[in-house]
Amino acid sequence: MPNEIQSQAERARQLINQQQYKEAAECYRELWLQTDDTQWQQAMAECYLARAQMFAKRAMYREAVDLWRQYRQLNVADRLKLDDVVLWMLALGDQAGVEEFMQQCSADQIDYLNPELAVKLGLLQLTGSVDLQACLPQGSQFLADLFVAERALQALPDKQAAAKIAEDLTPDSVFYDFACLIQGQPVPQDSPYAVCLSVLQVLSLQGQHFVAAMAALNRWQRETVYALRRLSDLQCQFIERYCEQVGGIMPLQAFDWVVQFRALTGFAEALAFCAGHLPNDFVRWLRFKKHFPELTAFELSRLKALACERSDDFHGAEQHWLDAMDSLKKTSGQAMKIALILRHIAEFYPPESQTEWLEQSLRYDPDDVETQDKLAALERQQVLTSLQTADEDDDVLDALLAGLDDDTKARLYEKRDELMMELTPEQLAAAFQSQMSAPDLEQALARQPLLYEGLLLMKAAEHNDIPVPFSFQQLLTTVAAHD
């Protein structure tokens, strides 16, 4: 019998050397049944563990965990080998299973698990992927360092405060790489925390900057941020939608998104955005009316004007404000609102062009002292400017008319003064649009009064059948040199 046992044991060792763990386990099972000796039971258990590790190398974690459970049932040694199965269960996302096995660990076992497992557990705990605090043994260094790391994380986006807290994480801590990241120090490329740098940088951002930065992360990193920021399901859905469409979002999509996710921006902001992006689109108008209350004509125009201002479309904003004023004029007691709108429109223009709007506002609110003072200051500035430039402008125009006699010049100046009362800058720009596009010329006229007078002189020459003494290009060159 002893010879048979020795022969069977030798055959089992050979099978193990050939990595035929299933057959080796059967040999040890027969030996255990024959002798009832626990050494064969433990040898069989080790075969199950080795076979589980073999399956794990092939990423067959479910099979590996099942074999490990058989190893646990047969194991008679003082300590179970937990390191591997925890990693396998983490790969399967089996948190309940991980908690079950972690509860079997002592504080010493937790602190002396293999470093790879400990670091990975710490990372998953910090990122909210697992929650093991309840099952971790009290008194372990791992748990104490975890509390420090979590406090540092919560201190963000105050990087200085977070770095100060992280100083308590010493080089022998499994969270040391995390402390280095918080303190802005490099970590080894093979560290599990190396992939977290971009996540930590995103955590402190807000608003549009936060959403744009999320689009640069991969799905795992975004899910980590969701957990750390404790974002709602609706917020996560919005960011995922944005990341799918980033770079190609059309105005219609933006309108639909704001309707769908209006709870994220706030009702008032969503209402203002959608009202400001209503084209002549009946279907979209019906959607707007379905999700938002009925608006007065004034309120709708106001919201559209504000939306244009946010896009720096001041021309469009002015038109919507004028529409809002027309709505107010249909009811009594709206003089103050109209005056405020006129003063607001005046702010779109440079000081020299604000007078007309401010004067109109005083018709509705004649007692506004601030507006009166502003008008008086503008008038004083205009007088000073006129006094400073009058002589110089006349000299420039005389230089352009140098080839004409005094009588002809006098006739041109007289006709110029008449045309000044008849032609607006817009009409004058239209008359010369063959030389320059009317919109560009209107802008130039608003900036350069001398150009306005020069064009009037050219029109005056046409009306008096006098050859135009200078060309349009000569006038532009002279005005540019004068400025």
pLDDT the model gives residue 3: 73
Measured between alpha carbons, how far is 47 from 26 in angstroms, rounded to an integer? 9
pLDDT band at residue 247 under the 50/70/90 scheme: low
DSSP string, 450-464: HHHHHHHHHHHHHHT
Find the range with the poorest average confidence among 43-52, 173-182, 376-385, 472-481. Answer: 376-385
CB 219 within 8 A of CB 203: no
Could you confirm whether domain 1-81 is CATH 1.25.40? yes
Coil, strand or helix at 444 = helix
Confidence (pTM): 0.43
Residue 184 is classified by DSSP as T
pLDDT at 70: 92
pLDDT value for 275? 63
- Asked if residue 390 has pLDDT above 60, the reply is no
Interval 91-119 mean pLDDT: 76
Residue 113's pLDDT is: 64
pLDDT band at 105 (very low <50, low <70, confident <90, very high): confident
Q: Would you state the pLDDT for residue 387?
A: 38
Residue type, 11: R
pLDDT category at 313 given cuts 50, 70, 90 is confident
Could you tell me the two tokens for 459?
Answer: 């029109």
* 1 pLDDT above the threshold of 80: no
Alpha helix positions (H), 183-333: 197-203, 207-214, 219-229, 233-245, 251-260, 262-265, 267-275, 282-291, 297-310, 314-328
* 270 pLDDT tier (thresholds 50, 70, 90): low
pLDDT, greater one: 236 or 24: 24
pLDDT value at 406 more than 90: no
In the predicted model, is pLDDT for residue 318 greater than 80?
yes
DSSP letter at 196 equals G
Cα 405 to Cα 139, 176, 402, 410, distances in angstroms: 106, 91, 8, 9
Question: Per-residue pLDDT tens for 441-478?
Answer: 777 777 777 788 888 888 888 888 887 777 788 788 77
Q: What is the pLDDT of residue 386?
A: 46
Q: For position 389, what pLDDT does the model report?
A: 47
What pLDDT does residue 462 have?
A: 83
Average the pLDDT over 372-380 and give the result: 78
The mean pLDDT value of the chain amounts to 78
pLDDT of residue 50: 92
Reported as a single tens digit per residue, the pLDDT across 281-309 is 555 666 666 666 666 778 778 777 877 78
Please determine, for residue 47, whether its predicted confidence score (pLDDT) is greater than 90. Answer: yes
Regarding predicted confidence, which is higher, 294 or 60?
Answer: 60
Q: Quote the percentage of the chain above a pLDDT of 90.
A: 6
Average pLDDT of the residues in 267-288: 60
What are the residue ranges spanned by the domains of the chain? 1-81, 333-389, 401-482
Buried b (16+ CB within 10 A) or exposed e, 178-192: bbbbbbeeebeeebb
**What pLDDT shows up at residue 263?**
57
| Contact present, 61 and 93 (Cβ < 8 Å) | no
Mean pLDDT of the region 145-152: 88
Task: Identify whether the C-beta of residue 158 lies closer than 8 Å to the C-beta of residue 88.
Answer: no
Of all residues in the chain, the percent with pLDDT exceeding 70 is 81
pLDDT at 391: 46
C-alpha Rg value of the chain to the nearest Å: 41
Query: Residue 398's pLDDT is what?
Result: 72
